Amino acid sequence: MACTTCKGFYVGMVLGIVMISSMVASCSANFFQDTEITWGGDRGKIFNGGQLLSLSLDKFSGSGFQTKKQFLFGRIDMDIKLVSGNSAGTVTTFYLSSQGPNHDEIDFEFLGNVSGDPYILHTNVFSQGKGNREQQFYLWFDPTRNFHRYSIVWKPQHIIFMVDDIPIRVFENEEAKGVPFPNKQAMRMYSSLWNADDWATRGGLVKTDWSNAPFTAYYRNFKATDLSLSSSKSFSDSQVQSNELDANGRRRVRWAQKYFMIYNYCTDLNRFPQGLPPECKRSRF
């Protein structure tokens, strides 16, 4: 459902798997058709016939956009070029969320920094209104120089966070251990650029320098792939695999976590004096 530009999808289904996989693979969404700018007025802009989108932030407001459709399980890919130069105090978000008081949410947030100092990539998972599952990373490249791909794979058995197709975090479905997992509420993709200089950069020590405004982030190659139980049957083996973790994938998660992870709630004993959350106990990651 997610690739609304793929008109032939259901017709293709009767023609067999090869045809469908090629259609899904080549299907990149259109920002005009598939998303809407919901915040910040003309600070959010769509260019190039729907292929490029920019968000900006000034003293008066940030901006944001979201997908028109919701889905229950899916893979979202987005190429983002973050605010360059002195981005201290700014936060760029890219996340999935349901609505309502006990909402589910799967977050990427990019915390800006002064020129030359590293962004922090902040991740979190909320299920049924409860988050507190932060992991933070430095990136192994300058995310302001080029576009890089950020992906969320949301399946009934796990959530995988990926950067340039490298899995950096896996949140397994451990309902069997009593850990709520987001699998009942449909979600939309949201993205925003806003000012959070009370906490974002060095814990709020560095404030936004408004003489650099407006701050701008760019988006392209947005792709939403439906992985709901009914449609995932139609994916080719290679597509199913790229949404799973094989031995190589697990090695890459360990690499990212060993060299780039700077905060992990699962090792923060001070924060959980009553004991670490149950999903941390035997987690391989």
Instruction: State the residues that interact with ligand NAG by CB under 6 A.
Output: 111, 113, 117-118, 120, 200-202
Instruction: Return the number of the residue (68 or 202) whose C-beta is nearest ligand NAG.
Output: 202
Distances (CA, A) of 82 to 85, 86, 90, 129, 260: 10, 11, 10, 28, 18
Between 195 and 231, name the residue whose CB sits nearer to ligand NAG: 195
**Phi-psi region at 142: left, alpha or beta (left = phi > 0; alpha = psi -120 to 50):** beta
Residue 69 neighbours by CB under 8 Å, 6+ apart: 1, 2, 4, 34, 188, 224
- Which of the residues 36, 105, 172, 175 is marked catalytic? 105
| 109 assigned to active site | yes
Q: Which of 90, 68, 70 minimizes the C-alpha distance to 200?
A: 90
175 is catalytic: no
Distance between alpha carbon 76 and the CA centroid of its chain, in Å? 7
* Closer CB to ligand NAG, 67 or 144, in the complex: 144
Among 220, 88, 223, residue whose Cα is nearest residue 148: 220
Q: Output the residue with the shortest Cβ distance to ligand NAG.
A: 117
In the complex, what is the shortest distance from the CB of residue 262 to ligand NAG, in angstroms, rounded to a whole number?
A: 7
Instruction: Report, in Å, the least distance between residue 36 CB and ligand NAG.
Output: 29
CB of 248 to ligand NAG, least distance (A): 29
Cβ proximity to ligand NAG: between 20 and 120 the closer is 120
Given the residues 36, 109, 174, 175, select the one marked as catalytic. 109
Residue partners of 220: CB distance under 8 A and separation at least 6: 51, 52, 53, 79, 147
* Least distance from ligand NAG to the Cβ atom of residue 125, Å: 20
Structure tokens at 263: 């905060």
- Active-site residues: which are they? 105, 109
